[in-house]
Amino acid sequence: LSAGRVSSIQTPGGCGALRIGAEIMYAAAPDARVWISDPTWPVHIPLVGSVGLRFETYRYYDPASHGVNFDGMVADLQNARAGDVVLLHGCCHNPSGADLSLDQWRVLSQMAEAQGFTPFVDIAYQGLGEGLEEDAAGLRMLVECLPEVVIAASCSKNLGLYRERTGAAIFVCQDGANAEAILSHAKAAARRVYSMPPAHGALLAGRVLADPQLDEIWRAELAQMCGRINRLRAELRAALEQASGRDFAFIEREKGMFSFLGLSPAQAQRLREEFSVYMLDSSRINVAGVNAGNIDYLAQSVAKVL
């Protein structure tokens, strides 16, 4: 910031930030490929593809270990060329909940520097994994090490402004001149796509963040939300292990709201049809939807289809 290398533009939520980022990337390098994790948030692909960019996938989640397949990820990203874009989840990977370690972020930053690809970081859940600072540690490492990083930030979850569509596209550039040029292009892209973002949510976010007292209250409330999610993970793990006799430690290792339970599509279908427990065929669940009134029934139902 002090060097004037950063430009940003308010967007309609994280989706708007992703679209503006993609618009800028296509304008700069229409032949670039965007590398997207397998699996990823399903809307990533149409948002990126809508501007004409081609995409490739890289291995990310390993169902056998319920963690990051980092060897596969690195092997796939070695095929990324200079000018390509690698879309990364800043924290709380959606849909798996499996996050990169700091050492793994360091390897990715070294690869980006050596190969010349640009990280595009979608950080939609900052503060809901381990905390505001902890969840941004990998992103900060990229920004410190690389000349260019693109960020799609959202206030939907961590500020409770989902319906207000409050986000930002942030461009970390090589120098101030590039930052000014990117900002001009971003404004032009925004004018084409949505003209003006909603003001209400941004005004609320600005007031909270600019007022030390409100900021302190918000940080405390966000920490409570984060703590609740992590407690639910521990409780869900214990309930599932007690009901099934199987190991569900991976649920507690994951971060954020989402997790794969490791069920087959047929098992997920049985849960829906026989027990009225509804989840995607991938067995992805929103951990935040678990509570004291349904956790035992959920665990017992899952145990019956294993």
Map out the domains of the chain as residue ranges. Answer: 6-206, 230-305
- 258 phi/psi in degrees, rounded to 5: -115, 155
In the residue annotation, 157 being an active-site residue is answered as yes
pLDDT digits (tens, 9 = 90+) for 99-116: 999 999 999 999 999 999
pLDDT for residue 2: 72
End-to-end CA, the chain: 52
Per-residue pLDDT band at 211 (split at 50, 70, 90): very high
Fold of 230-305: Aspartate Aminotransferase, domain 1 (3.90.1150)
pLDDT digits (tens, 9 = 90+) for 234-292: 999 999 999 999 999 999 999 999 999 999 999 999 999 999 999 999 999 999 999 99
> Which of 17, 80, 112, 124 is an active site residue?
124
What percent of the chain has a predicted confidence (pLDDT) above 70?
A: 100
Q: Which of 3.30.70.270, 3.40.640.10, 3.40.50.10480, 2.120.10.30 would CATH assign to domain 6-206?
A: 3.40.640.10
To which H or E segment does residue 2 belong? none
pLDDT for residue 282: 96
Asked if residues 33 and 84 have their Cβ atoms less than 8 Å apart, the reply is yes
Asked if residues 81 and 24 have their Cβ atoms less than 8 Å apart, the reply is no
- The pTM score is 0.95
Asked if residues 119 and 107 have their Cβ atoms less than 8 Å apart, the reply is no
**Would you put residue 122 in left (φ > 0), alpha (ψ -120 to 50) or beta?**
beta
In the residue annotation, 41 being an active-site residue is answered as yes
> Which of 157, 179, 239, 243 is an active site residue?
157
pLDDT digits (tens, 9 = 90+) for 284-297: 999 999 999 999 99
In the residue annotation, 105 being an active-site residue is answered as no
Cα–Cα dist 252/137, whole Å: 20
pLDDT digits (tens, 9 = 90+) for 70-81: 999 999 999 999
- 221 phi/psi in degrees, rounded to 5: -65, -40
> Which of 35, 41, 105, 218 is an active site residue?
41
> Which of 76, 84, 122, 135 is an active site residue?
122
